[in-house]
Structure 1
Amino acid sequence: MLGIGVDVVPRNEQVKGFSVIPRRWGVERSFGWIMMRRHLAHDYETKPAHSESMIRIAMISNLAKRATGETSITWRNS
């Protein structure tokens, strides 16, 4: 109806308990990096284009910090 495709990844029956799914791990890690930007912790933007821009800025900032080896003070290590 909406034209959205969903891929269901079956659980590995041989593994008991938690098992890492590689693609999901990357997505969850990316969401964690984005959420470190305080402005993106809540959806303050009214237009989708503004939200997309803020996410792009957050990821550019993250990549720049990783490329330069810079560390920033966060709530964890302040």
Structure 2
Amino acid sequence: MELTHYQAKQQKKPGAGGYEMEVVKRSELKGFKVVPKRWVVERTFAWNETNRRNAKSYERLSNTAETVTEISAIRLMLKQFDT
């Protein structure tokens, strides 16, 4: 995956898992401005950090770390069904 100076609007080739990546150019204006859809990713990372095993990265193998992350995501989804 190559992002030429982050100027491309959208990558044509799907990345890992068939996802397409969109690079959002930051505004030239000073001050705070909400970047679309970024908060969804940040929120998901924050939810995963509540699990100590994800926050501390005890796993030696990347497959194990990926599986633990998937299990924590499933746990979060099940918790949302419960409420």
TM-score (norm: length of structure 2): 0.68
Percent identity over paired residues: 37
Structure 1 residue 9: Cα displacement = 2.3
CA distance in 2, matches of 1:65, 1:47: 27
Q: Of 19, 28, 31, which aligns to 1:13?
A: 28
CA distance in 2, matches of 1:31, 1:48: 17
Q: What stretches of structure 1 of length at least 5 have no aligned partner?
A: 70-78
Q: How many residues align?
A: 65
Structure 1 residue 56: Cα displacement = 0.4
**Higher relative contact order, chain-length normalized (CA < 8 Å, sep 6+):** 1
Alignment pair present for 1:48 and 2:62: yes
Q: What stretches of structure 2 of length at least 5 have no aligned partner?
A: 7-22
TM-score (norm: length of structure 1): 0.72
Structure-2 residue corresponding to 1:25:
39
Structure 1 residue 23: Cα displacement = 2.3
User: Which one-letter code corresponds to 1:12 in the other structure?
Assistant: S
